[in-house]
Amino acid sequence: MLSLSDPITKVPLIGPNYADKLHKLNIHTVGDLLHHYPIRYLDRSQFTTIQDLKDGEIATIIAEVLDFKNIYTKFGKNLQQAKVADATGQIQITWFNQSFLSRTIREGEWYAFSGRVKDYHGRLTLQAPEHERVDENSLSGWQRQGDPQKLPAGKEKFNQNTKSGSPADAIFGGVSLTGPAGSQLLPSLHTGRLVAVYPETAGVSSKWLRSRIKATLDTADITDHLAPATIQRYSLKPLSYSLTQIHFPESQDTLTLARHRLAFDELFFLQLEGTHKRHLLKQKQVSRLIQLHHQEIRHFIDSLPFKLTRAQHRATGQILEDLEKGSPMNRLLEGDVGSGKTVVAAIAAYATHLSGLKSLFMAPTEILANQHYRELTKLFAATNLSIGLRTGATKQIGEFDLTIGTHALLFDKNLSGSQAPARPPKPKAKEEEPPNNLGLIIIDEQHRFGVAQRAKLESLGDNPHRLTMSATPIPRTIALTLYGDLDVSIIDELPHGRERIKTWVVPSAKRTGAYRWIRDQIATQTAQVFVVCPLIDPSETDKLKEVKSARQEYDKLTKIFPDFKIGLIHGRLKSAEKNRAITDFKTRITQILVATPVIEVGIDIPQAAVIVIEAAERFGLAQLHQLRGRVGRGDTQSYCLLFTSTDTQTVSHRLTAMTRYHSGFKLAEIDLKIRGPGEVFGVMQHGFDALKLARLSNIKLIETTKEAATNIISTDPNLDHYPQLKVKLNLDTSPRTTLN
Ligand code: ADP
Ligand code: MG
């Protein structure tokens, strides 16, 4: 019997040759093969037998061409006629002016024809259908064994995608009727109505996959990894049933149930992994407890040049509470750019310092490290907390209460406490080792650190508290799923007094008026204007196209605003030229700066008060929000103009959201519903690749699986009563294997 962890070559008829091809589809084990889910299904009921055809409908038949003629009428018209037949009858097909068909349609061969049925003088004909040749091998099998009466009648056109899944596949369940496995596979032919179409690769067709998956389903040992109680409690279908149904669904309903169960698994394992990690973390002990010096902390907060927002207060409270605990904090602090995360981290570092421990503050780039250093030096000016900066370029010597730096920090023996990543138990802190006094690690934008750096980060110190900060607006439920081992604090409001960026959607009809308004802003308000060029389809991956579009925009605006100076910045410029463009804009030599979407993100120009985004519909809401964040950094009212030439409903719904909402979280949530997480958050987030069926927009399933995972871990943290799950978690080293 096949085991799910067996290599794929254990499946009959899969040798090293096929195994190589399957690796391209990320299929390595028997389990991988069973979890290679269909991308869509062909509905066999969409094929009609000739006797069931009805006047006026669009139908698809599979028929043999008995006769094909190219006819020239006396009126100078050219038409093609074919007489075709299946086991139930004959029908005439007519095309007009398609004489080339005589080269592709041959008498004696079988085709799928799809077109409108028409009554012509009391006889049905098929009018100008599309055609596709049907696989001959399959057909001979069908002629021998098929029962045409069992082909269900139906009305719709067959699926137009001819790349994978030929009509023959659709009829025969894609199972080759010749060959050794054939006879065994016949039953599914007659019971299955929905036929799976898979992601394919060269030499691996859906048809072939179906036959190998069927063979695997018949012989593999598919033990359900969920306990019967879990299955019952959440009304799930068994694993083996679900795998069978997702590949060979009996009906739409069984397919839905199967997908639900398998989607449950995906989220459940993600949750279980996170919850388990979190449990392990809570078992750990910090080396030295932090005692909160409430009065001094309050004094520090009161001395800040501004009043904390409510959200900052809440987050600070949650963090301070964690710091006091004996188990290390592992918290994610999320908040829009400019929401004031740094000061919250600073308070945590201060609290740590008051308790005699040191803090590290890691930034992903040198620029950010410098920026934090400057800002924090100001914040701590009146305290006795010492700050040091360590980047590749700057290495301040000495021991500081708070050390800010880039990953250069990670390799500094003097700062990170004890070193070895996976330390075997050994007597603590020998004399020659640095004092183990690292209390807190703050990590800004952790996802921008590399894998090795992250691993190193995890191993720093002796279970210090960890605070990770991110400006990626991931809604809480989703953050908790993707980072199940983290607690999450969200800063969902901007500091008081910051003006909202007034945002308008500008359709084509109002463009001229908008330009007039912009002219006025520049002339009377000395406003400076960003113009962001359309996003170039990444599938075109053409840098030149982007540059071209930027130049065109520049030329266009030069004509519209001949009296203003306009700058241009794009990825192909040399870095001196880029700096020049930015400096000119900063010093008001230029009033308008045309920029490509990519280059634009890194630019920080506080006095720009207007941003125009061309072809705004091409951007996601999260992206638009990031772009919009380029203005509104000064103290004047800022504006964002979203130019669009389409007015479909989804587009206007999306863009209107930009005018109504100013929170990155709210916008990300809306975007998620419309576009899905891959688009919204990019592919870098851990866990996304493990989700093939589950949607992160399915909040209910996220919550259900979270509950299921939490229940299990809270009653049986070591999974002693769940041997199957235990095996899975222990095996889990990468997201890919999570599901197998
Ligand atoms: P981010 O969350 O993007 O890291 P920062 O921490 O850099 O944001 O804060 C952005 C700016 O807002 C900084 O100049 C900071 O001093 C200021 N700031 C932070 N909190 C407040 C507040 N409550 N009121 C006013 N300004 C604040
Ligand atoms: Mg920041």
Q: Which amino acid is at 20?
A: D
Give the pLDDT confidence score for residue 430 in this predicted structure. 33
How many CB atoms lie under 10 A from the CB of residue 503?
23
pLDDT digits (tens, 9 = 90+) for 335-359: 887 789 999 999 999 999 999 999 9
Q: Which atom of ligand 1 is nearest to the CA of 335?
A: 2
d(CA 375, ligand 1 centre) in Å: 10
CB-based contact 518:304 (threshold 8 Å): no
d(CA 341, ligand 2 centre) in Å: 6
On the 0-12 / 13-18 / 19+ scale of CB atoms within 10 A, 637 is middle
The tokens of 632 are what? 């509104």
Indicate if the pLDDT at residue 734 is higher than 50.
Answer: no
Give the pLDDT confidence score for residue 262 in this predicted structure. 96
Give the pLDDT confidence score for residue 602 in this predicted structure. 52
Q: What is the C-alpha separation between 418 and 429, in angstroms, rounded? A: 8
Angstrom CA distances, 390 to 400, 408, 442, 509, stand at 11, 7, 14, 54
Q: Which ligand is nearest to the CA of 333?
A: 1
Residue listed under structure tokens 């062909």: 42
- Does residue 433 sit in helix, strand or coil? coil
Give the pLDDT confidence score for residue 677 in this predicted structure. 61
The radius of gyration of the chain's CA atoms, rounded to the nearest angstrom, is 32
Ligand 1 pocket list (CB less than 6 A): 306-309, 312, 335, 337-343, 471, 495
Average pLDDT over residues 149-156: 33
Q: What is the C-alpha separation between 695 and 673, in angstroms, rounded? A: 10
* Lowest mean pLDDT segment, chosen from 172-186, 427-441, 457-471, 569-583: 172-186
Our mutation pick for probing the ligand 1 site, out of 301, 306, 307, 310, counting the most ligand atoms within 8 A of Cβ, is 306
pLDDT digits (tens, 9 = 90+) for 111-129: 878 788 999 888 999 998 8
Our mutation pick for probing the ligand 1 site, out of 303, 339, 377, 446, counting the most ligand atoms within 8 A of Cβ, is 339
Q: Which atom of ligand 1 is nearest to the CA of 308?
A: 23
Q: Which amino acid is at 658?
A: M
Percent of the chain predicted with pLDDT > 70:
81
Q: Which ligand is nearest to the CA of 498?
A: 1
* Lowest mean pLDDT segment, chosen from 381-385, 625-629, 669-673: 669-673
- The count of residues in the chain is 740
Q: What is the DSSP-derived secondary structure letter of residue 13? A: T
Model confidence band, residue 270 (pLDDT cutoffs 50, 70, 90): confident
Q: Which is higher by pLDDT, 519 or 698? A: 519
| Cα 98 to the center of its chain, rounded Å | 45
Of 245, 267, 273, which Cα lies nearest the Cα of 695?
267
The tokens of 323 are what? 């710091």
- Does residue 672 sit in helix, strand or coil? helix
DSSP letters for 40-108:
EEEEGGGB--GGG--TT-EEEEEEEEEEEEEEE-TTS-EEEEEEEEETTEEEEEEEES-TTHHHH--TT
- Does residue 6 sit in helix, strand or coil? coil
